[in-house]
Amino acid sequence: MKTRSFDVVVAGGGPAGVAAAVSASRSGARVLLVEREAGLGGNVRAAKVHSICGLYRCGAGPGAEPLQTGLAMEFARRLVASGGACGPRRFGRLDVLLQEPEAFAHLCEDWVTEAKTIEVMRNARVTGGEVEGRRVKSLHLTTQAGRVTIEAAAFVEATGDGNLAAAVSLSAESALRQELQRPAYIFGLQPVASAALAPAARLAWSALLVAAVRDGRLGAGALGAAVRPTCRDGMVRVTLDLAAGGGDYDPCDEVQVRRLTVEARESAEMLTDFLRREAAGFEKAEGCSWPERIGIRESRRVMGRHVITANEVLSGVVPEDTVCFSFWPLEWHEAGAAMRLVYPDNGAACGVPLRALRSQDADNVFLAGRCFSATHEAQAALRVIGTSMATGQAAGQAAACLSRGVVVDAGAIREACAR
Ligand SMILES: Cc1cc2nc3c(=O)[nH]c(=O)nc-3n(C[C@H](O)[C@H](O)[C@H](O)COP(=O)(O)OP(=O)(O)OC[C@H]3O[C@@H](n4cnc5c(N)ncnc54)[C@H](O)[C@@H]3O)c2cc1C
């Protein structure tokens, strides 16, 4: 089996992994970014997630007030400048940046290419590894060309699903299957008249959907369909939360994910036909921008030296070893219930301590993105893209320090991530 060596290996090329790789590279590390799919962008690219949450503080005044600094904001600014994002837009007390998933994925590729010291291995998945005491020595990758062993001084777990942790048996947790956040299917529709998104029009077509579900013309999933504007005139994106809850749902079972994707596409096509026939403003709408797969909100969470709780998120706790910040309400997509938000007290941001980004079991594994160390409840807020990129930057910085033999100091990482 071939063996190669890098300073830092980042597993997972979603928002967190891309930020981690760029961060480690800019700190001077030779980085390998491993992605199981053909392209970068994670849930954004494959599942068409189309807004960046967690970039701004809780909306109190008239304008959006940035919370994030560093790479998350650099990425957001570039996306806006390229025409791939618009906003921020205010929804209730929340400011979000609307973005086009294709542009997001494109910028991920550019960002990583510009970094010069990042090699990307695509269609390659972390499937195993070797551990020596409290260190991961190497990872085994399964690629089209066969198995490869990769050694590194430090690793970043950014697979979203905790797959690196599972491959080398690091501690991880998962909520009960019936309690996991529901997955969703996101697709585009165009052309749709802008008047169809006005409050009175929304009420009218929502009532039509309720009636159609009641008399069996549409499945229950249509009830919670969220229809949101995009940066493109005449195009909307529809999010269908899937009734995949219950005892069987396993987000790490790829056969099941594929089956749910096929079923969800059928529901999406039925909904599109229904809206075209019955709802004002949708008469000419066609489905577009179909996702490769359903979006996974929650699966494994990897245990760090600290596990962030919902109470810490809601009270805006800022521990001494904070390396970055998060603001977003707990956002619940539960089986059999409508989406609900639970806001932090006074709209406060909380701190993410370095301990929550460091594996409990392995001293050279750092955690980033939606699988970093938090409880099921806290993950409901911490999983958003702004926070994922901020934790990615911090984890990448920490991994680069370790690979140089420099003490991993929270204060220095926080300062570097603020620039
Ligand atoms: C339906 C839905 C709607 C959402 N809406 C929003 C929203 O509006 N705004 C917002 O900010 N956030 C939203 N989110 C949350 C957000 O998309 C994710 O939490 C975010 O993508 C997390 O980034 P990540 O990099 O941690 O994980 P992911 O985006 O999941 O990326 C992980 C990457 O790791 C790769 N990978 C996995 N296993 C392996 C392996 N073994 N080897 C190699 N690579 C591997 C995957 O292919 C993937 O590319 C939504 C999520 C969903 C599912």
Residue 163 CA: nearest ligand 1 atom is: 41
Q: How many CB atoms lie within 10 A of CB 206?
A: 15
Instruction: Give 265: exposed, middle or buried? Use CB within 10 Å, 0-12, 13-18, 19+.
Output: middle
Burial state string for 276-309 with b = 16 or more CB within 10 A and e = fewer than 16: bebbebbeebebebebebbbbbbbbbbbbbbbbe
Which residue's structure tokens are 């409840």? Answer: 377
Calpha distance 386→390 (Å, rounded): 6
What does the pLDDT read at residue 336? 79
To test the pocket of ligand 1, the residue of 100, 159, 326, 339 to mutate (highest count of ligand atoms within 8 Å of its CB) is: 159
The token pair at 185 is 């299917």
Cβ pair 287, 186 in contact under 8 A: no
Calpha distance 263→251 (Å, rounded): 15
Average pLDDT score, the chain? 96
Tell me the CA–centroid distance for residue 300 and ligand 1, in Å.
12
The token pair at 418 is 């603020």
Asked whether residue 118 carries a pLDDT value surpassing 70, the answer given is yes
Asked whether residue 418 carries a pLDDT value surpassing 70, the answer given is yes
Calpha distance 189→140 (Å, rounded): 41
The verdict on the CB of residue 377 being under 6 Å from ligand 1 is no
Asked whether residue 333 carries a pLDDT value surpassing 70, the answer given is yes
Calpha distance 277→283 (Å, rounded): 6
- pLDDT tens-place string over residues 235-294: 999 999 998 756 789 999 999 999 999 999 999 999 999 999 999 999 999 999 999 999
DSSP string of 333-363, one letter each residue? --TTS--EEEPPGGG--EEEEGGGGBBSS-T
Instruction: Give 394: exposed, middle or buried? Use CB within 10 Å, 0-12, 13-18, 19+.
Output: buried
Mean pLDDT of 84-113: 96
Tell me the CA–centroid distance for residue 45 and ligand 1, in Å.
9
What does the pLDDT read at residue 245? 57
Give residue 338's pLDDT band: very low, low, confident or very high (50, 70, 90).
confident
Tell me the CA–centroid distance for residue 254 and ligand 1, in Å.
15
Residue 167 CA: nearest ligand 1 atom is: 41
Calpha distance 97→262 (Å, rounded): 29
Q: Domain-by-domain residue ranges, the chain?
A: 2-176+298-334+344-418, 182-288
Calpha distance 44→15 (Å, rounded): 8
* Alpha-carbon distance values, 397 to 308, 347, 412, 413 (Å): 20, 28, 9, 6
- pLDDT tens-place string over residues 133-175: 999 999 999 998 899 999 999 999 999 999 999 999 999 999 9
What does the pLDDT read at residue 408? 93
What does the pLDDT read at residue 246? 62
The verdict on the CB of residue 384 being under 6 Å from ligand 1 is yes
Tell me the CA–centroid distance for residue 181 and ligand 1, in Å.
13
Pairing of strands 2-11, 31-34: parallel
Asked whether residue 295 carries a pLDDT value surpassing 70, the answer given is yes
Cβ pair 41, 104 in contact under 8 A: yes
Nearest of 229, 240, 225 to residue 185 by alpha carbon? 240
Tell me the CA–centroid distance for residue 13 and ligand 1, in Å.
9
The verdict on the CB of residue 166 being under 6 Å from ligand 1 is no
* Alpha-carbon distance values, 326 to 99, 187, 222, 380, 417 (Å): 20, 28, 31, 12, 13
Cβ pair 375, 303 in contact under 8 A: no
- pLDDT tens-place string over residues 26-53: 999 999 999 999 999 999 999 999 999 9
Mean pLDDT of 208-229: 90
The token pair at 233 is 């005139």
Residue 186 CA: nearest ligand 1 atom is: 1
Calpha distance 332→335 (Å, rounded): 10
Pairing of strands 365-367, 146-157: parallel
The verdict on the CB of residue 389 being under 6 Å from ligand 1 is no
The verdict on the CB of residue 333 being under 6 Å from ligand 1 is no
| Helix ranges restricted to H, 5-151 | 15-26, 43-47, 70-81, 101-114
Tell me the CA–centroid distance for residue 263 and ligand 1, in Å.
21
What does the pLDDT read at residue 275? 96
Cβ pair 212, 222 in contact under 8 A: yes
Calpha distance 96→50 (Å, rounded): 10
Residue 369 CA: nearest ligand 1 atom is: 26
Mean pLDDT of 320-345: 94
Tell me the CA–centroid distance for residue 14 and ligand 1, in Å.
6
Amino acid making up residue 298: E
Mean pLDDT of 394-411: 96
DSSP one-letter code for 416: H
- pLDDT tens-place string over residues 370-388: 999 999 999 999 999 999 9
The verdict on the CB of residue 375 being under 6 Å from ligand 1 is no
Residues 6+ apart with CB under 8 A from 91: none
Nearest CA to ligand 1 atom 20: 385
Give residue 222's pLDDT band: very low, low, confident or very high (50, 70, 90).
confident
Calpha distance 182→340 (Å, rounded): 13
Question: Looking at domain 2-176+298-334+344-418, does it have CATH number 3.20.20.70?
Answer: no
The verdict on the CB of residue 383 being under 6 Å from ligand 1 is yes
What is the helix, strand, coil percentage profile of the chain, to 5? 35, 25, 35
What does the pLDDT read at residue 191? 98
Nearest CA to ligand 1 atom 2: 295
What does the pLDDT read at residue 1? 75
The verdict on the CB of residue 241 being under 6 Å from ligand 1 is no
The token pair at 47 is 């599942």
Tell me the CA–centroid distance for residue 78 and ligand 1, in Å.
20
> What's the gap between Cα 124 and its chain centre?
20
Calpha distance 218→229 (Å, rounded): 23
To test the pocket of ligand 1, the residue of 36, 43, 296, 370 to mutate (highest count of ligand atoms within 8 Å of its CB) is: 43
